[in-house]
Amino acid sequence: MILQLATGGLLLGCIYGLVAMGLSLIYGVMGIVNFAHGAFVMLAMYASYWLYSLAGLDPVIGTPLVALLMFGFGIVVYRSIIGKVLRGPFLARLLVTFGLGIFFVNLAQFLWTPDYRMVQESISHGIIMLGPIFIELPKLVASVGSLVVAGLVYWFLRKTKTGLAIQAISIDRTAASLMGIDLERLNAIAFGLGLACAGAAGALLASFYYIFPDVGTMFGLVALVAVALGGFGSTEGALIGAILIGIIETVGGFLVGPEYKYALIFLAYLLIVIVRPKGLMGWGAD
């Protein structure tokens, strides 16, 4: 039973991990805590819903397209809003993404009503048995997909020139810009990449999860907790934090009661940061 639950938690954690990775990337590069991240996941879910119902494109197959769309959208949001706030005071930097989140969630409610929607016949459905463990196929596909995308982003950051430049910025912004790295361009790319992560996760989630305007809020908060749990600025930490959260949510939710599952996540966060104020793997100044 515990094994069954832990597997479910692990699968969930992988999807959280992808959302958290985008959040961590944005934070690492430009110091912005993206409170609108969940709203972007929600927008991606709607994008794949509409691609499915209007063009017949399956959410899983449409994932790269949605990720690409969100990448472009991220560049636009960075150029028009985020980039302009970066030099502003701490509170403006902290709250601008709150405004964005409120705006997009309610835009979705205005355009598409608060009704629950669902992709009816995704290509990934059914259950497979792995020894004694039931695994729902859509969740398996979504979490494997998340890991693949996370792997791609990781590869991009470690092996390409642009990726290395992005890492250089998160280590030392001033030195990076002295070495001739175009901060504005790379900030925009990093923000786009962060949103692409949220986009891919949203598209994969859309294949089995209900879609409604407020759906992303919890994903955003959980990802935020995952990033803080792992330590701001550590991409690996974000992934570890997310998987830990996925397991706490399913196992703890079973042991204590499902209505307490989010409370448990937050409790875990509080306990961990009280012992380690910079998260599990965090470093540097705040």
Instruction: Give yes or no for a contact between 281 and 274, defined as CB atoms under 8 angstroms apart.
Output: no
- 52 vs 232, which CB is nearer to other proteins? 232
Instruction: Give yes or no for a contact between 50 and 20, defined as CB atoms under 8 angstroms apart.
Output: no
Minimum Å gap between C-beta 76 and other proteins is: 14
Q: What amino acid occupies position 151?
A: G
| Integer Cα distance of 167 and 55 in angstroms | 38
Instruction: Give yes or no for a contact between 75 and 188, defined as CB atoms under 8 angstroms apart.
Output: yes
Minimum Å gap between C-beta 40 and other proteins is: 14
Read off the tokens for 126: 């059914």
Minimum Å gap between C-beta 265 and other proteins is: 8
Minimum Å gap between C-beta 95 and other proteins is: 6
- 195 vs 203, which CB is nearer to other proteins? 195
- In terms of Cβ atoms closer than 10 Å to its own Cβ (0-12, 13-18, 19+), residue 147 is middle
Minimum Å gap between C-beta 33 and other proteins is: 5
- 173 vs 278, which CB is nearer to other proteins? 278
Handedness of CA 147, 11, 224, 77 (dihedral sign): positive
Nearest CA among 204, 201, 200 for reference residue 138: 204
Nearest CA among 208, 156, 173 for reference residue 49: 208
| Integer Cα distance of 167 and 173 in angstroms | 10
- 64 vs 83, which CB is nearer to other proteins? 83
- 62 vs 213, which CB is nearer to other proteins? 213
- 204 vs 223, which CB is nearer to other proteins? 223
Site residues for other proteins per CB under 8 A: 33, 81, 84-85, 88-89, 91-96, 98-110, 114, 213, 217, 221, 224-225, 228, 232, 257, 259-260, 262-263, 266-267, 269-270, 273-274, 277-279, 286
Minimum Å gap between C-beta 130 and other proteins is: 33
Around 141, how many Cα atoms within 13 Å sit in the side-chain half-sphere? 22
